[in-house]
């Protein structure tokens, strides 16, 4: 298998910085790590002072007149937040509750304002306006309104005013401290729980691991892909970080393959024995590519772009040229990437691999969720 690197300079710079923080040898990398360490310590100090203002009451969190559930993490992507939001909304609806999703709409037109992506019946915005993750949720969650905007206090009020939901679900909301949440669900990737242990920019942690204590529930994703001994050790470490808090395990599982040109769905097992090329712009492409292999696909080449990358026609042409050169039968991408590739007519079939989040002990997990929702409903006057 070959892996193609994006030739643009920003990707090369990003790859170089990642190699530095993960131990690249040399005098220059050593000096850079020293600089990044100083910046990380300043970042940590500023973060602790900011949070202290909330703890002592100098700042107050806005409390919306609906229960708020946050799905988030302390790392920079790669934990499975979007499929977890999808699964949680489905489970809430099965319990007779009407959720609405509040997404930041990262890199979308309305990220710094607010807009309704879906009213639950119709998707109103395109991917460029909504952002890829919010648009994907809107497409895949019929009956669930999706609202975008960085300020979840504003978008929460908008969702309540327009749709009167029973509960608000924040996609990637752990670092939006300005809004009170009744249930904080923190996701941890079992395969790479805390990166190199440092917060940004010395590492890829948004917050130090000790801050997981803010969570009410920890959801350990990709748990089934970890060796038993390693999983037990990680669970023991998490119990020390969040004593008394429930810890659940979960795994992303493949669904169907959707061929984009004609919207034909086939079982994911179609991949078995077939040569394919993978293309993705997500935080953790390794898991996506591994899943293709687990389904029996032969990965002839792989293209990796920055998370949320917007593809250019030239880049897609390069992918298709490579697919033809390696005699691949199809190009496989993620659902998040597929929403940015929908109009494409290509030299090789282009298919998106659907992935959902399976939560172990689902009944016990939802018992904790519903308990938090009921307590919040009892504490509010609607």
Q: At what angle do helices 9-21 and 27-55 cross, to 10 degrees?
A: 80
Indicate the fold that domain 253-356 takes in CATH. Answer: Rossmann fold (3.40.50)
Separation of alpha carbons 137 and 139, rounded Å: 5
Separation of alpha carbons 1 and 302, rounded Å: 7
87-122, pLDDT tens digit by residue? 999 999 999 999 999 999 999 999 999 999 999 999
Question: Which pLDDT belongs to residue 7?
Answer: 36
pLDDT cut 90: percent of the chain above it: 85
Separation of alpha carbons 101 and 84, rounded Å: 12
User: Looking at the predicted structure, is the pLDDT value of residue 314 above 80?
Assistant: yes
**Eight-class DSSP state of 309:** P
141-189, pLDDT tens digit by residue? 999 999 999 999 999 999 999 999 999 999 999 999 999 999 999 999 9
Of 249, 214, 213, the C-alpha closest to 228 is 249
**Burial (Cβ within 10 Å: 0-12, 13-18, ≥19) of residue 363:** exposed
Separation of alpha carbons 26 and 13, rounded Å: 17
**Burial (Cβ within 10 Å: 0-12, 13-18, ≥19) of residue 133:** buried
Is pTM, for the whole model, over 0.85?
Answer: yes
Token readout for 114 is: 């607010």
Indicate the fold that domain 68-252+358-379 takes in CATH. Answer: Rossmann fold (3.40.50)
Separation of alpha carbons 145 and 102, rounded Å: 9
Burial letters 226-240, b for 16+ CB under 10 A, else e: beeeebeebbeebee
User: Looking at the predicted structure, is the pLDDT value of residue 243 above 80?
Assistant: yes
User: Looking at the predicted structure, is the pLDDT value of residue 4 above 60?
Assistant: no
Contact predicate 54/62, CB 8 Å: no
Separation of alpha carbons 382 and 375, rounded Å: 14
273-290, pLDDT tens digit by residue? 999 999 999 988 999 999
User: Looking at the predicted structure, is the pLDDT value of residue 252 above 50?
Assistant: yes
- Work out the average pLDDT over 57-70: 95
The pairing of strands 264-267 and 298-304 is unpaired
């Amino acid at each position: 298998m070959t892996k193609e690197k994006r030739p643009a300079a920003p990707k090369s710079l990003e790859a170089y910085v990642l190699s530095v923080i993960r131990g690249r040898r040399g005098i220059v990398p050593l000096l850079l790590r020293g600089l990044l360490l100083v910046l990380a310590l300043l970042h940590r100090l500023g973060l602790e002072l900011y949070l202290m203002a909330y703890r002592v009451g100098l700042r107050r969190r806005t409390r919306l007149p609906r229960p708020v559930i946050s799905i988030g993490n302390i790392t920079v992507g790669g934990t499975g937040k979007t499929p977890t939001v999808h699964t949680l909304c489905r489970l809430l609806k099965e319990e007779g509750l009407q959720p609405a999703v509040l997404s930041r709409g990262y890199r979308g037109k309305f990220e710094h304002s607010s807009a309704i992506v879906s009213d639950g019946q119709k998707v109103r915005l395109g991917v460029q306006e909504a952002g890829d993750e919010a648009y994907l949720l809107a497409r895949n969650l019929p009956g669930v309104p999706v609202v975008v905007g960085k300020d979840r206090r504003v978008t929460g009020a908008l969702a309540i005013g327009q749709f009167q939901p029973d509960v608000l679900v924040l996609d990637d909301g752990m670092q939006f401290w300005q809004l009170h949440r009744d249930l904080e669900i923190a996701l941890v990737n079992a395969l790479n729980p805390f990166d190199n242990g440092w917060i940004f920019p010395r590492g890829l942690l948004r917050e130090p691991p000790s801050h997981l204590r803010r969570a009410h529930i920890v959801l350990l994703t990709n748990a089934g892909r970890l060796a038993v001994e390693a999983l037990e050790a990680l669970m023991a470490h998490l119990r020390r970080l969040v004593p008394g808090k429930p810890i659940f395990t979960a795994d992303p599982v493949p669904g169907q393959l959707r061929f984009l040109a004609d919207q034909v769905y086939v079982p994911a097992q179609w991949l078995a024995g077939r040569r394919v090329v993978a293309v993705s712009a997500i935080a953790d492409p390794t898991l996506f590519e591994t899943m293709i292999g687990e389904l029996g696909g032969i990965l002839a080449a792989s293209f990796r772009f920055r998370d949320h990358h917007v593809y250019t026609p030239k880049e897609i042409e390069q992918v298709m040229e490579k697919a033809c050169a390696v005699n691949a039968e199809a190009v496989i991408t993620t659902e998040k990437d597929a929403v940015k590739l929908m109009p494409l007519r290509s030299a090789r079939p282009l298919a998106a691999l659907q992935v959902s989040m399976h939560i172990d002990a689902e009944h016990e997990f939802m018992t904790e969720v519903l308990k938090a929702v009921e307590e919040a409903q009892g504490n509010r006057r609607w």
